[in-house]
Amino acid sequence: MGKITGFLEHRRQPAPRRPVAERLKDYRELELLVTPGELRDQAARCMDCGVPFCNTGCPLGNLIPDFNDHTYQGDPARALEALHTTNNFPEITGRVCPAPCEAACVLGINDDPVHIKLIERHLADHGFSQGLVTPRAIEIGTDKHVAVIGSGPAGLAAAQQLRRAGHQVTVLERDERLGGLLTFGIPDFKLEKQVIEQRLAQLAAEGVRFEVGVNVGVDVSGEALLERFDAVCLCGGARVPRDLPISGRELAGVHFAMDYLTQQNRRVAGLPFGEEPISAEGRHVVVLGGGDTGSDCVGTALRQGALSVTSLEIMPRPPDEPGSATPWPLWPYKLRTSSSHEEGGERDFAVTTQGLIGADGRLTHLVCQRTELRAGRPTPVAGTEFELRADLLLLALGFTGPEPGGLLEQLGVQLDARGNVQTDAELMTSQPGVFAAGDMQRGQSLVVWAIADGRRAARGIDRYLMGTSALPTPGRAGVLR
44-62: pLDDT as tens digits: 999 889 899 999 999 999 9
Q: What is the pLDDT of residue 479?
A: 38
Q: Does pLDDT of 376 surpass 60?
A: yes
Which among 16, 14, 77, 78 has a CA at the least distance from the CA of 41?
14
395, containing H or E segment: strand 392-395
Q: What is the pLDDT of residue 1?
A: 59
Average pLDDT over residues 76-94: 97
Question: What does the alpha-carbon distance between residue 65 and residue 180 come to, in Å, rounded to a whole number?
Answer: 31
Instruction: Provide the 8-state DSSP code for 313.
Output: -
Which residues 6+ apart lie within 8 Å of 195 measured at CB? Answer: 91, 92, 95
Q: Does pLDDT of 109 surpass 60?
A: yes
Q: What is the pLDDT of residue 481?
A: 29
Which residues 6+ apart lie within 8 Å of 191 measured at CB? Answer: 29, 92, 95, 96, 182
Which among 4, 30, 14 has a CA at the least distance from the CA of 296?
30
Q: What is the pLDDT of residue 96?
A: 97
Instruction: Measure CA 130 to chain center.
Output: 26
153-196: pLDDT as tens digits: 999 999 999 999 999 999 999 999 999 999 999 999 999 999 99
Instruction: Kindly state the percentage of the chain with pLDDT values over 70.
Output: 98
Question: What does the alpha-carbon distance between residue 13 and residue 203 come to, in Å, rounded to a whole number?
Answer: 33
Cβ atoms of 163 and 138 closer than 8 Å: yes
Q: What is the pLDDT of residue 324?
A: 87
Q: What is the DSSP string of 227-293?
A: HH-SEEEE-----EE-----BTTTSBTEEEHHHHHHHHHHHHHT----SS----TTSEEEEE--SHH
Q: What is the pLDDT of residue 475?
A: 66
Cβ atoms of 302 and 345 closer than 8 Å: yes
Q: Which amino acid is at 330?
A: L
Which residues 6+ apart lie within 8 Å of 458 measured at CB? Answer: 157, 158, 159, 161, 162, 165, 233, 471
Q: How does residue 476 score in pLDDT terms, banded at 50, 70 and 90?
A: very low
Instruction: Kindly state the percentage of the chain with pLDDT values over 90.
Output: 94
Q: What is the pLDDT of residue 183?
A: 98
* pTM for this prediction: 0.96
Q: What is the pLDDT of residue 478?
A: 40
379, containing H or E segment: strand 377-380
Q: What is the pLDDT of residue 50?
A: 87
